[in-house]
Amino acid sequence: MDAPAPEPTLTEAAKRRALAVILMTVVINMIGVGLAWPILPKLVQSMGSGTVSDAAAAYAVIGTIYALAQFVFSPLIGIISDKYGRRPVMLVTLAGLTVDYIFVALAPTLVWLAFARLVGGVFGATVTTANAYVTDISEPEERARIFGLIGAAFGAGFILGPLLGGILGEIDVRLPFYAAAGLGALNLVFAVFFLPESLNEDRRRTRPDWREANPLASLRKIARFPALMPLLIALLITATAQRGLEGTWVLYTEFRFGWGLREAAWSLAFVGVMYVIVQGFLVGPVVRRIGDWPTVITGFAVSCLSLALYGIATTGWMVYPLIALYVIGNGLGAPALTAICSKSVDGDRQGQLQGTLQAINALAIIIGPLFASLVLAHVSAENPIVDVPGLWFIGGAFVFALAVVLAIRARPR
């Protein structure tokens, strides 16, 4: 049963302005992420032996530290935003990410780099807060479309970010992180002056249960919703497959196709273009035409097909049509899945829900890149026992097939 629509906190005109501002905040934030993220594996590689196998193993450890911090702190930040409002939480997380980029840029050793990513994980809750923010200013029937716009904003930032990161990274592998820190500071100033509060005091949780900040407790509580349990499992396993793909993309394409930073950056920019097209222009019409549940099921099925084809791709040119296919599937399915979850929770607990969804995503970031990096370290080593370069992608196809089954079983009759 859908939760009642939230009481309006802003006029319609103010809601449109607030949505535009939060979208711009997300775009600027994602340009910074896009600048830094593709270069991080190369930075790790430069601090070690230089081989793909060793870099993948070290990156697995550093990525796990980041994800553990995000997993632990995301539910807490979601509850804090329910109590104190979205604006102050967004400002603090933007400031924390700016500091993280500076720490990464200055890191002289892998230990320092691991500490810097710990800081980034603690403050990496901009997605949580942005999703709760748009929930505050939207009606339930609008949410799939608006979550799609958030995804499109991510994509828009990811078009420019990786391209700049690839160019700057070829000059100096640390330069993209300084640029990301500068953008983070700019974004913080922009939000200070233009981002309004979306959650009025009379709609805040005056007495939150801080025990819900325990990520495992929060997951258990949300899992009490019978209709959500299969979807949350589907979210976890598909996000695990996707995060593993993302976390190893730069090193995998170097190993499999002989790509450098520039080629990897162009492919990531194409990912951004596709997300803008799919989530900016297709999600709303598709959901209105066929509904949330069919959109999720269809999206998972398309993603399954694309990952299977990824796993057997042997040359770089094959990647681009497969990126388009994967983004169509994931770009349609993910916003519809988030919308279904948000409609099942009352308005004063949207921050908690989004924090829990982010915690699930963080758990996927722990599992996905860790195991994908270990798989890549194995298949890229000399004389691997399992000589299947695209092993992670083939496994991901099976995961998405399972997600299709879970979504079909969870769909209300």
Higher pLDDT, 162 or 297: 297
Ordered by start, the domain boundaries in the chain are 12-198+211-410
> Whole-model pTM?
0.74
The number of beta carbons lying within 10 Å of the beta carbon of residue 210 is 11
Q: 16-30, 231-245, 273-287, 313-327: lowest mean pLDDT where?
A: 16-30
Each as own residue / partner, the long-range contacts of residues 9-18 (CB below 8 Å, 24 or more positions apart, any chain) are 9/136, 9/137, 9/197, 9/198, 9/199, 9/200, 9/203, 10/137, 10/196, 10/198, 14/196, 15/137, 15/138, 17/196, 18/133, 18/137, 18/195, 18/196, 18/198
pLDDT reading at 148 higher than 70: yes
What Cα–Cα distance (Å) separates residue 233 from each residue in 133, 246, 285, 334?
25, 20, 27, 14
The maximal CA–CA distance of the chain, rounded, in angstroms, is 64
Radius of gyration of the chain (CA): 20
How far is the C-alpha of 184 from the C-alpha of 330, rounded, in Å? 27
pLDDT in tens, 371-394: 998 899 888 888 888 888 889 999
The pLDDT confidence band at residue 224, using thresholds 50, 70 and 90, is low
Pull the structure tokens for residue 39. Answer: 């270069």
pLDDT reading at 9 higher than 60: no
Q: What is the DSSP letter of 223?
A: T
Please answer whether residues 354 and 223 qualify as being in contact, where contact means their C-beta atoms are separated by less than 8 angstroms: no
Alpha helices in 107-142 (DSSP H): 110-122, 126-136
Please answer whether residues 255 and 377 qualify as being in contact, where contact means their C-beta atoms are separated by less than 8 angstroms: no
How far is the C-alpha of 317 from the C-alpha of 258, rounded, in Å? 12
Q: 140-144, 192-196, 262-266, 353-357: lowest mean pLDDT where?
A: 353-357
How far is the C-alpha of 361 from the C-alpha of 185, rounded, in Å? 26
What pLDDT was estimated at residue 369?
Answer: 86
CATH number belonging to the domain at 12-198+211-410, selected among 1.10.3190.10, 3.40.630.30, 1.20.1250.20, 3.30.9.10 = 1.20.1250.20
pLDDT reading at 404 higher than 90: yes
Three-point CA angle 178, 183, 187, nearest 5°:
150
How far is the C-alpha of 173 from the C-alpha of 176, rounded, in Å? 7
